């Protein structure tokens, strides 16, 4: 009887492992009881009992007269569990969730956006008041498939000012910058393709690319842009289809692509037939514009992405894609299929905010405040032995190295207990080689409590690491 | 020399066909010139010349010292060209684009939404005015990952009123109803899976499912719901993972699921482990609520989708998903990865519009207007020999059969010339068996010019079909 129990367990465990490895897919019919008994060299009654128990567990379903089937779906796409197991504190989705979920009392030096009070609130209020008097179509109707014509015209002019020649027909509006990149990935990638990213890069690129079931290869980032030798080697070894980067103000480092690297990078991309997605959402933070890959390339193999979530408001979602006309056409079909019509209202508010006379002044003031906050953060962090990789010319990010032997994930966990959300380095690093880095958002790092909490966490983490050695 | 030219052509054509069949993927390295010459039994110089010409054509790229590579990307996802070639007039994306792109002068009896002047404009204006005075966070900050807590609470109460027991934590806000279905598909489907749809069904389901690279199987729809024998047979034959439907007011037929069919359908789904997506965006049009699969099932295997684009405004995008808690958690991760934070503003406007005292009255008035428009459309269409499949109890759709021998796609093409956008039946039909049907939106069919244009097109199409027989 004991041996019979063991045999049933063995059959159940065999079937369970086929299901978890997806050798047997949800909905698939299992071998008949007789065939299974033969294959596993057990009795028919053992298989019947094993099948019945798996039905009771919900793993199989029985269809009278037809047989046993794998219950479905058992394996929905679980982003948090895909790929190698990582410390939940450096899981990119953990960082996003902590930043998005926390209430106003939580301090968020690790988040990727400005405090709400730094955004263009006055412009948004004016836009809403004027929209409340707008005509019915603006208030009630879907946008055209490519999105608000006036905003696309404005964006084409802004692209021209940045040296990128694009007609309004080459601009597609989306619901957000992230959705824009997601559409491009759906358009150009197939599961199993390879994509290059910077190491470190914006952590949500990792989560997004997981959702596309592609292979991600990181290229080390230098203060002038990606390491070109490593980039060239990655092209030869992996034949990637896409490279996703920020040229302007690189996330998380705040670095700026040099013209020399930009030029060589595009030559390599040309030879390899590589498409480049240039995520340019920090453009308006630059005092003096850095070179853009899209300007060098003329939107031939570069696709540029933008959004207004970082400067106007994150509460209205509005992003855009600039690309060559034939790609915009296919992307528009894909946008209709997966999101149907876009909204008019968000685009209308954005257009009226950025074209009102106050926006330029607002951004000048933001740049001044950011520069001051940057100085203060560098000075304050230095007292804790935390040193910037570079001091960026613009933007909100400061990529910093912790004192020797201190683990950023441990510090992040400790600080979270005290209501401070940090962004640990390995969330940004495909090779997990940034375990002693943190990304600070200087605009969100003005409260002195952050540094008190950080100091305590550092001393504990430092002791912990010394105790271990 | 002529023979040499022919050989070069043959090599080029061989490589071209490998690329178009995706046997050689973009970025892949081609066999060396010597190996290729051996394999194709031609000279090395023939291969060199063929490779060089393909480089000149842009199909290959040369990397000095490394070899020849397939230029990439050459095959972005082209929804309009996937699957069997269809008449562009019945391509689902064509219908969507015509409806979304057309300006106010075009008449759109084929579109799927109310005229802007029928929407809840007064409520939206009031909401915008009050939002212009809201606090900074509402105006500038991202929403929490699951979306506006107040709107989720409201939706949970509304679900409870429909007999669906769900906590606010079981509701996830999205940017639109379509995006909600798209997220669910990404969560539960893998390329190659099978999905059941009604035949006919909302045409954008076809486009959306193409983007997911899944196999679509249509189940004939009856006035009480899907044909259960066909449904059962499809479960046995195709082991689908998902079934997407509208129970309330079925698009395009306006039919309502009977309790008997709902109950039997869920029993079949249970046995097969099938997940059901119930797209419930027309709920507010019902005078007496029909049974909901989600209410019978208790959100165990049913996922319910909703949106406000059909009743409040299509200009603000705001949809939602109700599902079991563990699915909501995975869906939320996927939403962050592919769209990052949602907006607060759209949700805030929707919540304030639907909870203001005028919304209920507004919807009552819309239902009365729709009933009147339905009567008129039925009468007017009868004079043209166009007969409804059923006369729906509610909603805007009337699914109609044309006179014998008239092709709906031909009629749609002719009417478009005269500024009238129709929705031909085969755009809704997976089996292409609705070639003599049109879907009318009665709210968009009040202009008498529509029937004049239609009458002309019918007589031409009728003559055409007689001439052919």
Which phi and psi angles does B43 have, rounded to 5°? -80, 160
**A309, A340, A341, A352: which to substitute to probe chain B, counting the most B Cβ within 10 Å?**
A340
Q: What pLDDT score was predicted for residue B300?
A: 94
Q: Which tokens is A48 given?
A: 């019947």
Q: What pLDDT score was predicted for residue B208?
A: 95
Position A129 confidence tier, pLDDT thresholds 50, 70, 90? very high
CA gap A369, A119 in Å, rounded? 12
User: Do B28 and A179 make contact, defined as CB atoms within 8 angstroms?
Assistant: no
Residue of chain A whose alpha carbon sits nearest to that of B202: A337
pLDDT at A305 over 80: yes
Which phi and psi angles does A458 have, rounded to 5°? -65, -40
User: Do A316 and B346 make contact, defined as CB atoms within 8 angstroms?
Assistant: yes
CA gap B32, B40 in Å, rounded? 12
CB contact set of B66 (below 8 Å; sequence gap of 6+): A236, B29
CA gap B29, B12 in Å, rounded? 15
**A273, A274, A281: which to substitute to probe chain B, counting the most B Cβ within 10 Å?**
A273
> For A56-70, A216-230, A241-255, B205-219, which range has the lowest pLDDT when averaged over its residues?
A56-70
Position A341 confidence tier, pLDDT thresholds 50, 70, 90? confident
User: Do A339 and B145 make contact, defined as CB atoms within 8 angstroms?
Assistant: no
Using DSSP bridges, classify how beta strands A387-388 and A319-322 pair: parallel, antiparallel or unpaired. unpaired
CA gap A64, A213 in Å, rounded? 37
Strand B319-322's sheet: what is its strand order?
Answer: B171-174, B319-322, B302-307, B275-279, B242-245, B194-199, B215-222, B225-226
pLDDT at A21 over 50: yes
User: A26-47: buried (b, 16+ CB within 10 Å) or exposed (e) per residue?
Assistant: bbeebbebeebbeebebeeebb
Q: What pLDDT score was predicted for residue A2?
A: 54
DSSP state letter for A420: B
> For A90-104, A388-402, B324-338, which range has the lowest pLDDT when averaged over its residues?
A90-104
Q: Could you read off the pLDDT of B161-179 as tens digits, one per residue?
A: 889 999 999 999 999 999 9
Which residue blocks in B103-227 are alpha helix, DSSP H?
Answer: 121-131, 136-140, 149-161, 177-188, 203-211
Q: What pLDDT score was predicted for residue B62?
A: 78
Of A129, A204, A333, the CB nearest to B80: A333
Q: Is the dihedral of CA A144, A150, A151, A157 positive or negative?
A: positive
Judged on CB neighbours under 10 Å (0-12, 13-18, 19+), B445 is buried
Mean pLDDT throughout A67-77?
Answer: 65
CA gap B435, A20 in Å, rounded? 44
Domains and CATH numbers, chain B: 2-70 (1.10.10.10), 86-112+359-468 (3.90.1150.10), 120-356 (3.40.640.10)
CA gap A401, A441 in Å, rounded? 14
Contact list in B for residue A243 (CB cut-off 8 A) is none
Q: Which tokens is A256 given?
A: 């700026």
Whole-angstrom CA distances from B119 to A148, B151, B377 are 20, 20, 20
CA distance B277 to chain A (A): 13
User: Do B338 and A139 make contact, defined as CB atoms within 8 angstroms?
Assistant: no
CA gap B230, B217 in Å, rounded? 11
Of A76, A139, A178, the CB nearest to B338: A178
Residue of chain A whose alpha carbon sits nearest to that of B300: A73
| Strand, helix or coil for residue B62 | strand
Per-residue confidence in pLDDT tens, chain B, 469 aa: 457 788 999 999 888 888 766 667 666 788 888 889 988 899 989 999 999 888 877 778 777 666 888 875 435 666 655 444 456 666 778 888 888 887 778 899 999 999 999 999 999 999 999 999 988 888 888 999 999 999 999 999 999 988 999 999 999 999 999 999 999 999 999 888 999 999 999 999 999 999 998 999 999 999 999 999 999 999 999 999 999 999 889 999 999 999 999 999 999 999 999 999 999 999 899 988 888 999 999 999 999 999 999 999 999 889 999 999 989 999 999 999 999 888 889 999 999 999 988 999 999 999 999 999 999 999 999 999 999 999 999 999 999 999 999 999 999 999 998 999 999 999 999 999 999 999 999 999 999 999 999 999 999 876 655 444 3
User: Do B175 and A317 make contact, defined as CB atoms within 8 angstroms?
Assistant: yes
Mean pLDDT throughout A324-329?
Answer: 92
| Strand, helix or coil for residue A217 | strand
CA distance B199 to chain A (A): 18
Q: What pLDDT score was predicted for residue A81?
A: 52
| Strand, helix or coil for residue B432 | coil
CA gap A243, A201 in Å, rounded? 11
Q: Is the dihedral of CA B416, B421, B426, B430 positive or negative?
A: positive
DSSP state letter for B112: S
Which phi and psi angles does B282 have, rounded to 5°? -100, 10
Contact between B15 and B24 under an 8 Å Cβ cutoff? The reply is yes
Q: What pLDDT score was predicted for residue A28?
A: 74
User: Do A317 and B78 make contact, defined as CB atoms within 8 angstroms?
Assistant: no
Contact list in A for residue B317 (CB cut-off 8 A) is 175, 339, 342-343, 346
> For A21-25, A65-69, A356-360, which range has the lowest pLDDT when averaged over its residues?
A21-25
Q: What pLDDT score was predicted for residue B22?
A: 62
Q: What pLDDT score was predicted for residue B234?
A: 96
Residue of chain A whose alpha carbon sits nearest to that of B126: A132
Contact between A319 and A307 under an 8 Å Cβ cutoff? The reply is yes
ipTM: 0.83
Contact between B404 and B421 under an 8 Å Cβ cutoff? The reply is no
CA gap A399, A388 in Å, rounded? 6
Q: What pLDDT score was predicted for residue A270?
A: 92
Contact between A93 and A345 under an 8 Å Cβ cutoff? The reply is no
Mean pLDDT throughout A104-130?
Answer: 93
Contact between A261 and A226 under an 8 Å Cβ cutoff? The reply is yes
Of B27, B93, B333, the CB nearest to A240: B27
Contact list in B for residue A327 (CB cut-off 8 A) is 76
Q: Is the dihedral of CA A205, A207, A208, A210 positive or negative?
A: positive
Dihedral of CA atoms B17, B19, B24, B30 in degrees, nearest 10, equals 90
Mean pLDDT of chain A: 89
Q: What pLDDT score was predicted for residue B466?
A: 47
CA distance B343 to chain A (A): 4
pLDDT at A450 over 90: yes
């Amino acid at each position: 009887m004991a041996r019979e129990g063991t045999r049933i367990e063995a059959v159940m465990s065999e079937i369970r492992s086929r299901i978890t490895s997806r050798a047997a897919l949800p909905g698939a019919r299992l071998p008949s009881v007789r065939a299974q008994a033969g294959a596993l060299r057990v009795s028919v009654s053992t298989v019947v009992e094993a099948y019945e128990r798996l039905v009771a567990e919900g793993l199989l379903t029985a269809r009278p007269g037809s047989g046993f089937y794998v219950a479905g779906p058992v394996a929905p796409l679980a982003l948090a569990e895909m790929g190698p197991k990582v410390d939940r504190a450096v899981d990119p989705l953990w960082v996003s969730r902590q930043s998005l979920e926390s209430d106003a009392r939580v301090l968020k030096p690790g988040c990727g956006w400005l405090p709400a009070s730094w955004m263009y609130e006055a412009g948004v209020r004016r836009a809403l008041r004027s929209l409340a008097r707008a005509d019915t179509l603006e208030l009630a109707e879907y946008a055209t498939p490519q999105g608000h014509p006036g905003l696309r015209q404005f964006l084409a002019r802004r692209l021209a000012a940045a040296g990128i020649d694009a007609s309004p027909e080459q601009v597609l509006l989306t619901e957000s910058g992230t959705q824009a990149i997601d559409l491009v990935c759906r358009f150009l990638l197939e599961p199993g393709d390879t994509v290059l990213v910077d190491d470190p890069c914006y952590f949500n690129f990792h989560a997004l690319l997981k959702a596309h079931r592609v292979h991600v290869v990181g290229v080390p980032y230098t203060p002038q842009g990606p390491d070109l030798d490593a980039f060239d080697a990655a092209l030869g070894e992996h034949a990637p289809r896409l490279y996703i980067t920020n040229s302007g103000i690189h996330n998380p480092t705040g670095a700026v692509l040099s013209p020399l690297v930009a030029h060589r990078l595009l030559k390599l991309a040309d030879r390899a037939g590589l498409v480049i997605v240039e995520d340019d959402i920090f453009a308006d933070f630059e005092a003096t514009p850095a070179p853009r890959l899209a300007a060098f390339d003329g939107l031939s193999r570069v696709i540029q992405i933008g959004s207004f979530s970082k400067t106007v408001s994150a509460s209205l979602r509005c992003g855009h894609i600039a690309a060559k006309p034939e790609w915009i056409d296919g992307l528009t079909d894909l946008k209709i299929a997966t999101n149907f019509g876009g909204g008019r209202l968000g685009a209308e508010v954005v257009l009226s905010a950025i074209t009102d006379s106050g926006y330029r002044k607002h951004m000048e003031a933001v740049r001044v405040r950011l520069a001051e906050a940057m100085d203060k953060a560098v000075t304050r962090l230095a007292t804790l032995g935390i040193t910037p990789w570079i001091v960026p010319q613009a933007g909100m990010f400061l990529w910093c190295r912790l004192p020797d032997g201190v683990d950023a994930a441990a510090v992040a966990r400790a600080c979270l207990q005290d209501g401070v959300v940090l962004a640990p380095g390995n969330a940004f690093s495909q090779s997990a080689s940034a375990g002693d880095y943190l990304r600070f958002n200087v605009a969100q790092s003005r409260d002195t409590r952050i540094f008190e909490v950080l100091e305590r966490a550092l001393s504990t983490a430092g002791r912990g690491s010394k105790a271990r050695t």
